C-alpha cells in the first residue's frame, strides 16, 4: 500500500466517523465561511499544503520570506516589547502615569494625544471646548512635551507617538525636547505614526487634503532617514481599519497598499529604497478570531517581503516587516465588562504566536471610560504573565507546520494580494482614498459584523448570549475637562507672553514660504517650535497654503437589512415606522451626528445605515460639527430626533451645549435627543437631567434601539 493510498483511506475513514458522530450527511455542512470569505473546514491535512501560492513550507525564522518571524531567535533571545499606549489630561498627569508604568515593568512608551492636538488646534480654540485632555494628553507647545518626558531620559527610552494630522509640530516638539535634554536627534529612538492615508479611510484625524498630506509624510521620511538613524519614520497602521469594521483581509490588504504608496512617496524624494525601508514599521489590530489573527501577521510579513523585493530592496532589513500590535478596542463590551480581561488575554496570545515585535493590551474598562490605574495594571500584567509564566517565549513560531495555520496564511495572502492589485489598478492608494473605495468597503464590512451580532449569528458572551443578570459596577477614571482646558490656556498665555514674538512670526513666515516652494517642512517646523510657536500656529500656517480637508459623507445601504429577512423583531420595527408614516404623512426623520473633534464614526455610520434599512429617513451630519451647527441642520431638515454618537468622552460638555442651542433656536421645538457610544453609567443621570430621552452603550442591539426611538418619536408627535 502506497503512502498516498494510506492517506486517502485514513481521510475516508475519518469522514465516515465524523458524519456518524455529528449525525449529518456531509462534512461540507460543517464548513463555516469567515468574515473574510474564507471557508474554514473541520479538518486540515497534508493535502492542504500541496498547492500553496505564497507560503514556502520550508522557510525558517529570520529568513526569506520571513513568514516565521523577522528574527532568527525571536522571543527566545528577548521577549516582545511591552509598549502600553496611554495619555490623558495634562502632560503632568500623563508623565506621572508613565513613570509608574515604567517602574512596574513596561519597556517602552506609546503616547496618546488628545483630539485637539491631533487636529492641529490649541486648547484655547473655541472649536475644541469639549475635547481637551479627554482621549489623550493635551500638547500645545514644546513646554508641554518637555513636561511629558520629565525625568524620562530620551536617549534611553524608545517612544512611540500616534500622530498623523499635526505630525509636523508634534515630531518637532519631540526633537526640540530632546535637544533641551541634551539628547541629539541622532540619539532619539522610537516611532512616529505618520500614516495619513488611513485617516482619510477611517479615523479622520486629518488636517490637510491628501496630496499635501502625502508630501508631509515624504518630508518626514526624508529628514529622519538622514538625521535620525534610530527613529522609525512611519508606522503603517491597519489597527484603526479593523476598529472601524474591516475584516482581516481588508485590514491586511489596505495596510500593505498604504505601505506601497509611502515607499513611492519616499522614492519621489530621490531616496534609495534601502536608505529608508529598514525604518518603516507597521501596526495591526488583534481581534478575537484567534487563528485568523495569527495567520494575518504571518501573511503580512510574507507579502511585504515580496513587495519590497519588487521595489528593488537588497538589504535584508528592508525586506522585513516589523510590527506593533494592539488588542482590539471594538471587541470590548460595556456589558459584563470583566469578560474583557479574558478577551484581551487571548488576543494578546494571538499576537505573540503571530510574532509581533511589541504589544499593547487594552484595559477591560475602555468600553466605558479611560482606564484606571488598576485596570491599566491588569492590562500590563497580562503581558508579564505571558512572558514569564506560559512558556511561549521558548520556541520560535510554535504553530509553524500546522496544516490549518499554513493553509490559512496562504489563503489570507491570496485574498489580500487580489485587493492590493485592485488598488493598483485604481492608480494607488491615494487615488483609491480620494475615490472613497476603501472607506465604503470597510463600512460595508462593519455593518455586516453588527448585523451578525444583532441577529445572534455571532455570539458575544454577556451581550447577546449568556447575559449576566447582575451587572457589576466598575470604577472609572473621570477627567475634569474644564479644569484641564483652563490649565492649558493659562500655560499658553504664559508662553505667549514670555516668547520673542518677532522670532515666532519670522519662523512661521519661513514655514509658509517653504510650503509654497516645496521645501522640507520638518526642518522649518522645528525652527518654529524651537521659538515656542504653538501646535495650532504651525498647523494654521500650513493650512493657509494647503487648506483644510472636509470629507464627503458616504454610506452603504441594504447591507444590514439583508441579515434580517423574515426576522420578526426587524419587521415589527418596520411596521411601526409604516404606521407612523400613515398617521403623519411622512416617515420619522433622524439626524445622526458627531460633535467636536471625535472622528471615530463607525458607530454613527452603522446606526445611520441600519436605521435607514429599517425605514427611517436618515440624515448623516458631517464630522466635527459644533452643537450650533447640529441644531441648524436639525431645524432646517425638520427632523424628529437627533442621535449623538460619542466615543471620546466629550458628552458632558457637548450634549448640554446642544440642548442649550436647541432651546435658544426654537424654544417650542420637541426634537428627541438620544445618545450612543462610550458613556459611563454614572453619567447617565446627568444626561437624562439634560433632557436626553435615551442612552445606548456599546453592545446595544440596534433593532431594540430603533424600536425605542420610533416609540419616543411617536409618543412625542402625538403630544403635538
C-alpha cell recorded at residue 650: 466629550
Distance CA 607, CA 641 (A): 13
φ, ψ of residue 113 in degrees (nearest 5): -100, 155
- The helix (H) or strand (E) run that includes residue 222 is helix 210-227
Nearest-angstrom CA–CA distance, 313 and 304: 11
Catalytic site residue 600? yes
Cα separations (Å) of 560 from 82, 283, 450, 599, 609? 38, 29, 8, 22, 7
Distances (CA, A) of 16 to 13, 20, 403, 525: 5, 6, 21, 70
Q: How many CA atoms lie within 13 A of 48 on its CB side?
A: 19
The sign of the CA dihedral 294, 300, 302, 303 is: positive
Helices (H), 228-368: 239-243, 248-267, 273-276, 290-310, 316-319, 339-354
Q: Examine the residue annotation and report whether 493 is marked as an active-site residue of this protein.
A: no
For CA atoms 113, 119, 120, 123, give the dihedral sign: negative
From 594, 605, 640, 652, active-site residue: 594
Phi, psi of 456 (to 5 degrees): 90, 0
Is residue 598 annotated as a catalytic residue, yes or no?
A: yes
Q: In Å, how far are 91, 283, 324, 335, 676 from 367, measured between CA atoms?
A: 24, 21, 22, 9, 12
Among the options 41, 44, 48, 85, which is catalytic?
85
Rounded Cα distance between 448 and 605, Å, is 12
- How far apart are alpha carbons 407 and 47 in whole angstroms? 10
Rounded Cα–Cα distance for residues 250 and 445 (Å): 9
Identify the three-state secondary structure at position 192.
strand
> How far is the C-alpha of 206 from the C-alpha of 164, rounded, in Å?
7
| Pairwise CA distance, residues 2 & 367, whole Å | 57
Q: Which residues does 560 contact at the CB level (< 8 Å), separation at least 6?
A: 447, 450, 451, 606, 609, 610, 613, 702
Distance between the two ends of the chain, CA-based, in angstroms? 85
Exactly one of 600, 605, 640, 652 is catalytic; name it: 600
Q: What is the CA radius of gyration of the chain?
A: 26
User: Quick check: 386 and 28 in contact, CB under 8 A?
Assistant: no
| Burial (Cβ within 10 Å: 0-12, 13-18, ≥19) of residue 591 | buried
Assess whether 594 carries a catalytic annotation.
yes
**Phi (first) and psi of residue 426, to 5 degrees:** -80, -5
Candidate list 289, 365, 410, 598, residue with the active-site label: 598
| 239 carries an active-site annotation | yes
Contact present, 110 and 57 (Cβ < 8 Å): no
Choosing from 71, 198, 215, 240, the catalytic residue is 240
Q: Of the listed 98, 121, 208, 239, which one is catalytic?
A: 239
**Residues labelled as active-site residues:** 85, 239-240, 594, 598, 600
Amino acid at each position: 500500500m502506497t503512502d498516498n493510498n494510506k492517506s486517502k483511506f485514513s481521510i475516508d475513514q475519518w469522514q465516515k466517523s465524523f458524519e456518524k458522530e455529528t449525525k449529518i450527511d456531509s462534512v461540507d455542512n460543517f464548513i463555516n465561511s469567515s468574515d473574510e470569505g474564507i471557508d474554514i473546514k473541520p479538518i486540515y491535512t497534508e493535502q492542504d499544503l500541496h498547492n500553496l501560492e505564497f507560503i514556502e513550507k520550508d522557510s525558517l525564522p529570520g529568513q526569506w520570506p520571513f513568514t516565521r518571524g523577522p528574527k532568527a531567535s525571536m522571543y527566545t533571545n528577548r521577549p516582545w516589547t511591552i509598549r502600553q499606549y496611554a495619555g490623558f489630561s495634562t502632560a503632568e498627569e500623563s508623565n506621572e502615569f508613565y513613570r509608574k508604568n515604567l517602574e512596574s515593568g513596561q519597556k517602552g512608551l506609546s503616547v496618546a494625544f488628545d483630539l485637539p492636538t491631533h487636529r492641529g488646534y490649541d486648547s484655547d480654540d473655541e472649536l475644541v471646548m469639549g475635547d481637551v485632555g479627554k482621549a489623550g494628553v493635551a500638547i500645545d507647545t514644546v513646554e508641554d512635551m518637555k513636561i511629558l518626558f520629565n525625568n524620562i531620559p530620551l536617549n534611553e527610552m524608545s517612544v512611540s507617538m500616534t500622530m498623523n494630522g499635526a505630525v509636523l509640530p508634534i515630531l518637532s516638539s519631540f526633537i526640540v525636547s530632546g535637544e533641551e535634554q541634551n539628547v541629539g536627534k541622532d540619539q532619539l529612538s522610537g516611532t512616529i505614526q505618520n500614516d495619513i492615508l488611513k485617516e482619510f479611510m477611517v479615523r479622520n484625524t486629518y488636517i490637510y487634503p491628501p496630496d499635501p498630506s502625502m508630501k508631509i509624510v515624504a518630508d518626514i521620511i526624508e529628514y529622519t532617514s538622514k538625521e535620525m538613524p534610530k527613529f522609525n519614520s512611519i508606522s503603517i497602521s491597519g489597527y484603526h481599519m479593523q476598529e472601524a469594521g474591516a475584516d482581516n483581509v481588508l485590514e491586511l490588504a489596505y495596510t500593505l497598499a498604504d505601505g506601497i504608496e509611502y515607499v513611492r512617496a519616499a522614492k519621489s524624494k530621490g531616496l534609495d529604497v534601502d536608505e529608508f525601508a529598514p525604518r518603516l514599521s507597521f501596526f495591526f489590530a488583534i481581534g478575537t478570531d484567534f487563528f485568523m489573527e495569527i495567520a494575518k501577521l504571518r501573511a503580512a510579513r510574507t507579502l511585504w517581503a515580496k513587495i519590497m523585493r519588487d521595489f528593488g530592496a537588497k538589504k535584508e532589513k528592508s525586506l522585513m516587516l516589523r510590527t506593533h500590535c494592539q488588542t482590539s478596542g471594538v471587541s470590548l463590551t460595556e456589558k459584563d465588562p470583566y469578560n474583557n480581561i479574558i478577551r484581551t488575554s487571548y488576543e494578546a496570545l494571538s499576537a505573540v504566536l503571530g510574532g509581533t515585535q511589541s504589544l499593547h493590551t487594552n484595559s477591560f474598562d475602555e468600553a466605558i471610560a479611560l482606564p484606571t490605574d488598576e485596570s491599566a495594571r491588569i492590562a500590563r500584567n497580562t503581558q508579564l504573565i505571558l512572558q514569564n509564566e506560559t512558556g511561549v517565549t521558548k520556541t520560535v513560531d510554535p504553530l509553524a507546520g500546522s496544516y490549518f495555520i499554513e493553509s490559512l496564511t496562504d489563503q489570507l495572502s491570496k485574498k489580500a494580494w487580489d485587493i492590493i492589485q485592485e488598488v493598483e489598478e485604481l492608480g494607488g492608494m491615494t487615488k483609491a482614498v480620494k475615490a472613497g473605495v476603501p472607506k465604503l468597503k470597510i463600512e460595508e464590512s462593519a455593518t455586516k459584523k453588527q448585523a451578525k451580532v444583532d441577529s445572534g449569528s455571532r455570539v458575544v458572551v454577556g451581550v447577546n448570549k449568556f447575559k449576566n443578570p447582575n451587572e457589576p459596577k466598575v470604577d472609572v477614571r473621570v477627567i475634569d475637562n474644564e479644569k484641564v482646558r483652563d490649565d492649558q490656556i493659562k500655560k499658553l498665555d504664559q508662553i505667549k507672553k514670555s516668547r520673542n514674538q518677532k522670532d515666532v512670526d519670522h519662523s512661521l513666515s519661513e514655514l509658509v514660504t517653504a510650503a509654497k516652494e516645496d521645501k522640507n517642512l520638518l526642518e522649518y517646523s522645528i525652527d518654529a517650535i524651537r521659538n515656542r510657536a504653538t501646535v495650532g500656529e504651525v498647523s494654521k500656517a500650513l493650512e493657509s497654503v494647503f487648506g483644510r480637508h472636509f470629507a464627503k459623507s458616504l454610506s452603504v445601504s441594504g447591507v444590514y437589512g439583508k441579515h434580517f429577512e423574515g426576522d420578526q423583531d426587524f419587521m415589527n420595527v418596520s411596521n411601526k415606522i409604516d404606521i407612523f408614516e400613515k398617521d403623519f404623512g411622512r416617515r420619522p426623520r433622524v439626524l445622526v451626528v458627531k460633535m467636536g473633534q471625535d472622528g471615530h464614526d463607525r458607530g454613527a455610520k452603522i446606526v445611520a445605515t441600519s436605521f435607514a434599512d429599517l425605514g427611517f429617513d436618515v440624515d448623516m451630519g458631517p464630522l466635527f460639527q459644533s452643537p450650533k451647527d447640529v441644531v441648524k441642520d436639525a431645524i432646517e431638515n425638520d427632523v424628529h430626533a437627533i442621535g449623538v454618537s460619542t466615543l471620546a468622552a466629550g458628552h458632558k460638555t457637548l450634549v448640554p451645549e446642544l440642548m442649550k442651542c436647541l432651546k435658544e433656536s426654537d424654544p417650542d421645538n420637541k426634537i428627541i435627543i438620544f445618545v450612543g457610544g462610550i458613556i459611563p453609567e454614572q453619567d447617565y443621570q446627568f444626561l437624562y437631567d439634560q433632557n436626553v430621552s435615551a442612552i445606548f452603550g456599546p453592545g446595544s442591539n440596534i433593532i431594540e434601539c430603533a424600536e425605542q426611538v420610533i416609540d419616543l418619536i411617536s409618543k412625542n408627535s402625538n403630544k403635538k
